[in-house]
Amino acid sequence: MQVILIQDVNNLGGANELVTVKNGYGRNYLIPKKFAVEASPSNLKQLEERLKQQAKKEAKLLAEINKVIAVLAEGALKIGAKTGTSGKIFGSVTSVQIARAIKEQKGYEIDRRRIHILDEVKELGTYKAKIDFGSGNETEVEFEVVAE
């Protein structure tokens, strides 16, 4: 029996996937628990349409991510920090400060949990941070720590 999974099922497959199962498993467990629907011609057409819509959403999201990556690659961010007389900064630069700088200087709001600073920032200078957008899309952002 072929069924279309509505949600992820362990050891079977993910949502919107067409799988073949034994008749009893499909009729007595998957369909009554609303984990799957029978693979009738009309349900197959609905699945095809859902997959088309999902592909369009993903393409639109990927275009937006590429646009953000292009804007972030244009120039280095400037982050102000209080310094001592020797050029060492008090504290350290965090992902929160980088996210705030991106919002103020580039106009995009990025979640601080997606930003990973590659080097420890303890002095004035230029450093790099990696931003992970998910789905294998990531970019490196250069930022410059300057005295306030």
Q: Per-residue pLDDT averaged across 6-27, rounded?
A: 93
Q: Per-residue pLDDT averaged across 55-82, rounded?
A: 89
CATH number at residue 27: 3.40.5.10
* pLDDT 10s digits, 109-139: 889 999 999 888 888 889 999 999 887 888 8
pLDDT of residue 34: 94
CATH number at residue 98: 3.10.430.100
For the question of whether the overall pTM of this predicted structure is more than 0.85, the answer is no
Q: What gap in Å lies between CA 10 and CA 35, rounded to an integer?
A: 11
Same domain, yes or no: 72 and 58: no
Q: What gap in Å lies between CA 110 and CA 40, rounded to an integer?
A: 43
pLDDT of residue 39: 93
41 pLDDT exceeds 80? yes
Question: Which range of residues forms the domain containing residue 92?
Answer: 67-147
